[in-house]
Structure 1
Amino acid sequence: MPTPKRIVVCGFQHETNTFAPTQADLLAFEYGGGWPGLVRGDALFAAIAGTNIPAAGFVDAAQRAGHTLLPTLWCAASPSAHVAEAAFEQIAGEILAGIEAALPVDAVYLDLHGAMVTTHFDDGEGELLRRVRALVGDAVPVVASLDLHANVTAQMLASADALVAYRTYPHVDMSRTGQRAFGLLEKRWSSGRRAALAVRRLPFLIPICWQCTDMQPAAGLYALLAEIEAKVSADLSFATGFPAADFAECSPVIWAYGEDSALAEAAVDILARGANESEAEFAGTLYSPDDAVRYAIEQNRTGRRPIIIADGQDNPGAGANSDTTGMLRALIRQDVQGAAIGLMVDPQAAEAIHRRRAGETIRLALGGHSGVDGDAPYEDEFLIEALSDGKVEATGPYYAGFRLDVGPAACLRRGGVRIVVASFKVQMADQALFRLVGIEPTEQAMLVVKSAVHFRADFAPMAAEIIVCAAPGPMPMRLEQLPWSKLPIGMRLGAKGQPFELGRTAVAAA
C-alpha cells in the first residue's frame, strides 16, 4: 500500500459584488451566512461532514485513500461587497501559519470561491494562492476547488497546479467538485509534474439568472464539456463568472489540463467555440414587479399554482441585503391573495415583532434600509401570524446537510400576502425557510423568492412556472445598469450586449 501523504486542508470562500452595500468583516466569516461559521483545526471535519461543500467531498475522498489530513481553517461569508482588509489578512494569515506549522507536506488543498475582491486586492484568491505557493515552493502540489461563478485570473491559474469548478447552477455538485479536486491531485502526484494548461476568456458577461445549468444554453454547454472529457484526455472547467465584480479579469473562463498542450488547447477550443456561438441564448424575459404579479394572477385563474417569481436583483447570494420592497409593494398594490414572500431581512423589525405576540398587529417601516436607488422602507400595519427562533433543518438539495439559522424570525400578514421576516441573510433556496414560520409553500398561489437561481433546486419540482422580475436591487440582471470602470474595453455587458466603454454612464435601474 502506498505511503499515506500529508495534505493540508483549508477553505476561504467569498463571492464579492463590488457594487453591493455592505462589506464582509471578520464577524461575517465567523457567522457564515448560511454556511458553517469559521472553524479551526480538527473542528473543521465535524462542521462540514455530510454537507454539500467542496471540502467535504475532498476530505471524504482523501480519507478513503488513507491519507493524513492537516486542517487549518474553513470559513465562508454571505456574498456582499468587498472583504475588509483586516478580515482577509487575519484569515489568510492563519491559513499560511497553519501550512507553515504543518511542513513538510505533500500537498495543499484550498476550498475557494474564485470571485473574492478585497478592499486592497482585486484578486483575493490569486493573492492567497500566490502566498501559498511562495511558502511551499514549486514542488508541492497546490489544488483548489472553485465556484461556477468564479472570475478566474491569470494569477490563480499560475499559482495552482490544478483548479476545478462546479458544473451545476443551482450548485448541487459542490461536494462532487471536491472529489474531482482530489482526483486532479492524484494525477499530479502520479505524473510528477504539472499538466499542460490551456485557457480561453470569453468576451461577454452573463447575467446570473441566465447561467442556470438546468436551462439552455448552459445545459448544452456543460453536456458538451462532459462529452469532450470523455473523448479527450483532458480535465475541463467552465466558470461562467460572477458579473458584478468591477475589475479587469471579470469574465467567463474555460480552462483545461491535459497530458500535452495540444490536447488541452483542442479541448478548450471546442468548448469555447460552443460558448461563443451560444452567446445570444444567454438571455430571457425580465418582468417589472407589477407585470410579474399580473402575469402570475392570470396563471392562477387558470388553476396554475404556485407561480414562483424570482426577485433576483435582491438576491443575498449575489451580495444583496435581501430587504428591498419592490415586489412586496406590487403584491400588496394588486391585492394578491395566497402569496408569500421571503426572506425580508430586517433585524430591527424582527426585534420589534418579537416584543409582541402572535395574533397582535404592529405598525412597521419594513425593509428598504440598504440605500438602493428606487427603494425605501414599506410602512404599514401588519398582523403577526407566527414567531420563530429562525433555526431550521434544510430539506432541499442546495443546502443539503445544513441547519440554517436566520435569527429571530416571524410571519407577517398584510391582506392576502404573507412575509417571512428574518434577522440574518440567507438566500431563499430551501422550502424549509417558508415552513419555519408556518407557511406551506406548496399551498400558495404565488411565491416570491429573494434568489436568482439556487432556489430552483428545491422549488422547481413544485412550481407551475418560474419567472424572473427586475425589482430594485444591487444585482441588476441588465448589466449595463452597473457603473463599471475597470472592465476591458469592448467586454460585452450581457448576451450580445453593449460593449464596455470608459466614461459611459450606467443606464437607470429598473
Structure 2
Amino acid sequence: MTSSPRNTSSETLRIGIAGIAIESSTFSPHRSTLDDFHVTRGADLLARYAFLAPGSELTEGVEWVPLLHARAVPGGPVTEETYEQLAAEIYEKLGTAGPLDGVFVDFHGAMSVLGRTDIEAEFVAGIRERVGPSVLLSASMDLHGNVSRELGSTLDLITCYRKAPHTDAWDTKERAARNLVARLRSGGRPQKAWVQVPVLLPGEKTSTRIDPAKRIYAMVDEVEAMDGVLDAAIWVGYAWADEPRCQAAVVVTGDDADVITAQAKRLADAYWDAHDEFEFVAPTGTLEECVERALASAARPFFISDSGDNPTAGGAGDTSWTLDALLRLPAITKSELTTLYAAIVDPEVTATAIEAGVGATVSVEVGGKIDSGPCGPVSLTAEVVAVDPAGGVVVLGTGGLRVIVTTRRKPYHLESDFTQLGLSPRDADLVIVKIGYLEPELYAMAADWLLALTPGGVNQDLLSLGHSHIDRPMFPFDPDMPTPTLTPELL
C-alpha cells in the first residue's frame, strides 16, 4: 500500500511506530531468541514514549499508530526464525494499518541475524516496500549502531544518541519523532550527507565523558544549529560484530547540500584526526591487577568492571572466568572484606538455590554453560544468602564474597538492583560488575573505579577476536594505514 504525506497543518497525520532493537555480538556463543525479547503492541507501545502522552505537543494533529516494538538485552546473534517472526508481524500490521504519512523506526542499529548481513537495512527496506516511496521514514538509533549506505539511503531521517553512557536516549527518540512531524508538516524530503570513517573502537574508548569523544560530539550541536541543517549525527559503530558495515559513520541531514556536505566532512575529519587519541574511559589492568589495586586503596566502595562479558554489550553473561579467579583469592573469600559480584546467568543454579531456601548450603557448578571458552562451570559451595523467586535471582555467599546468580541475562546498573536483594553496594568494599563503562548511578556511587580487561564475547582486545569481514584497512586493525579520503555522499 502506498500513501502520500499530507503537508497541511489542518489535516491529521498518521504515523506508525515499529522497531526491533538489540545489539548482537557475533563473537558470543549466545543465541538471541524470541524469549529474549520484550514485545509491546497497541496501547502498551504508545505508553513507552512519554513525549506521546495524550495532550503532548507531538500528539496535536497526529495519530500515532502502534505496530510492534521488540527490544532485548544485548546478546549473541538473533536466530533467523526469531527475526522473521517479529519482522513478519510488523510488515503484516503495516499492511492493515491504513494510509500512513510516516513511520517512526525505533531500533538500536547493531542487530545481527544468523545467515544475514546488514539486517537493519534489510528490515527498513521491507518497511519501505510496504508503505511506498512517498511515506517518510525516521529512525532513532544508538550511537553504537552502524550506518551502511543502504540503510542511510532507505531512511529519510536518521539520528542517534550523542552521549555515552546514553543519558539522552529518550531525547533522541523524541528528536526523531519531532523531526518527522516537522518535515511532514513543512513538506519536502531532506537530503543526507553520509560518510563512513574507517575506525572501529569499543564504547569504553569512546565515552563522551572524556576527550576526544567529548569535544567531537560537542561539535554535533554546533552543526545542528546551522542554517540549512536539520540534524547531525556521529556513529561510533559496533566493535563486536564482524560485518562490512561495522565502522564509524557521519550523517548530516538538511536542505542545503553544500552546508550538510561540508559539515559531514568536518565531523568525519575530526573523528579520524583523533583516531589514535581514544583511550579507555577508566584505568585498566588484568583482573588480578585491578583487585590488588582495589585492595590496596582506601576508597570504598571500589568498583571494577568485568568488561569481557558485559551483557549490555552482547556478552553471554555466564562467563565464569572472573568468578573462578575471585574464588582463588583468599583476600576475597577469607577476609573481613565484603565483595559483591554481579552477576552470572545460570537458570539451573538459581532454581537449586531457590528450592534450598535462604540459609541453606548448596554445592553447585556455576556459569560457563553458554560461553565456556574462557572457563567452564565453576564449583562453588556457598550459603544461600537471598532469593527472589519472582525475579529469578539468588545471592550465594562464601566468606566475604556475594555472588548474584540469575535465571535470565540482566544488567546491574542501578542501586536498587542490589538493595532489593538485601545487598548494600555503598557499604561494600569491592563491587565487581559485568559492565563496560559505569552507568550513571554506579559511576556516582563509586569512590574509585578500574576497568578489568577480561575474556568473553565482548573482549576489549579487538585484535584477538578474529574479525575477517570488516572493510580493510581499518583502525586499529591496520595501525599504520594511510589517511583515508573522507568524501561525503549525498543520499
Task: Report Cα offsets for 1:156-185 as digits up to 9, x if no partner.
Answer: 111111111111222121111111112221
- Corresponding residue for 1:19? 27
**2:418 aligned with 1:422:** no
Cα contact 1:236–1:256 (8 A) shared by 2? yes
**Which residue is 1:242 aligned to?**
238
CA distance, structure 2, for counterparts of residue 476 and residue 372 of structure 1: 14
- Secondary structure of the structure 1 residue equivalent to 2:317: coil
Matched residue type, 1:460: Y
Moved more, 211-220 or 152-161: 211-220
Q: Deviations over 1:5-32 (max 9, x none)?
A: 1111112112111111122222222xxx
Q: Secondary structure at the match of 1:42?
A: helix
Q: Which residue of 1 aligns with 2:274?
A: 278
User: How far apart, CA to CA, are the structure 2 residues paired with 1:475 and 1:60?
Assistant: 43
1:207 paired with 2:202, answer yes
Change over 3 Å in CA distance of 1:16–1:498 after alignment to 2:
farther
- Quickly say closer, same or farther: Cα 1:130–1:196, change in 2 above 3 A: same
Aligned counterpart, 1:296: 294
Greater displacement, 122-131 / 407-416? 407-416
Alignment match, 1:159: 154
Aligned to 2:486: none
Q: Which residue of 2 aligns with 1:340?
A: 340
TM-score (norm 1): 0.87
Give 1:221 shift: 1.4
Structure 1 stretch displaced more, 94-103 or 58-67: 58-67
Q: 1:332 to 1:167 in 2, by over 3 A?
A: same
Note if contact 1:353-1:410 (Cα within 8 Å) is conserved in structure 2.
Answer: yes
Q: How far is the alpha carbon of 1:191 from its aligned partner?
A: 4.4
Following the alignment from structure 1 to structure 2, what is the Cα–Cα distance between the partners of residues 143 and 58? Answer: 19
The answer (yes or no) to whether the contact 1:315–1:450 under 8 Å persists in 2 is yes
1:164-179 → structure 2 map (5 Å cutoff): 164-179=159-174
Moved more, 472-481 or 366-375: 366-375
Q: Which moved more, 1:375-384 or 1:475-484?
A: 375-384
2:455 is the counterpart of 1:472: yes
Q: Does 1:493 align with 2:488?
A: no
Quick one: which amino acid aligns to residue 370 of structure 1?
I
Is the 2:318–2:371 Cα contact (8 Å) retained in structure 1? no
1:229 aligns with 2:227: no
1:136 aligns with 2:131: yes
Q: Deviations over 1:47-106 (max 9, x none)?
A: x255xxxxx669986643331111111111222222211111111111111112123111
Question: Secondary structure of 1:383's partner?
Answer: strand
Distance 2:56 2:245 in 1: 32
Structure 2 residue ranges without an equivalent (≥5):
1-8, 482-491
What does 1:33-72 correspond to in 2, within 5 Å?
A: 37-46=38-47, 48-50=48-50, 63-72=58-67
1:126 and 2:121 matched: yes
State the alpha-carbon separation in 2 of the partners of residues 272 and 49 from structure 1: 32
The percentage of counterpart residues that share the same residue type is: 28
1:350, 1:423 within 8 Å by CA — same for their partners in 2?
yes
CA–CA separation in structure 2 for the residues paired with 1:327 and 1:211: 25
How many residues align? The count is 466
SS at match of 2:355: coil
Residue 502 of structure 1 is matched in structure 2 by none
> SS where residue 279 of structure 1 aligns?
coil
For the Cα contact (< 8 Å) 1:61–1:182, is it kept in 2? Answer: no
AA matched with 1:147: D
Letter in 2 for 1:77: A
2: CA distance, partners of 1:166 / 1:133: 24
Contact 2:342/2:412 (<8 A) preserved: yes
Structure 1 match to 2:433: 449
Distance 1:21 1:82 in 2: 8
- Paired residues of 2:52 and 2:58 also in contact (CA < 8 A): no
SS of equivalent to 1:125:
helix
In the TM superposition, what is the alpha-carbon distance from 1:424 to its structure 2 partner?
A: 0.7
In 1, Cα distance between the equivalents of 2:328 and 2:56? 53
Gaps of at least 5 residues in structure 1 are 30-36, 51-55, 391-406, 500-510
> What does residue 95 of structure 1 align with?
90
The change in CA–CA distance for 1:487 and 1:428 in structure 2 (over 3 A counts) is: same
Q: What residue in structure 1 maps to residue 258 of structure 2?
A: 262
Cα deviation digits, residues 346-402 of structure 1 (max 9, x gap): 111001101112122111111122234331222121111111135xxxxxxxxxxxx
* Counterpart for residue 10 of structure 1: 18
Which letter does structure 2 place at the counterpart of 1:296?
A
- Three-state SS of the structure 2 residue aligned to 1:265 is helix
Report if aligned partners of 2:319, 2:371 keep a CA contact under 8 Å in 1.
no
For 2:442, the equivalent position in structure 1 comes to 459
Shift of residue 313, structure 1, vs aligned partner? 0.9
Q: In 1, Cα distance between the equivalents of 2:240 and 2:479?
A: 15
Instruction: Provide the C-alpha distance between the structure 1 equivalents of 2:261 and 2:113, rounded to a whole number of angstroms.
Output: 32
What's the CA shift for 1:190? 4.2
Q: 8 Å contact 1:115–1:152 — kept in the other structure?
A: no
Give, in angstroms, the shift of residue 272 of structure 1: 1.5
Aligned with residue 75 of structure 1, among 70, 77, 80: 70
Deviation digits for residues 99-157 of structure 1, max 9, x if unmatched?
12123111111111111121232111101111111222221111111111111111111
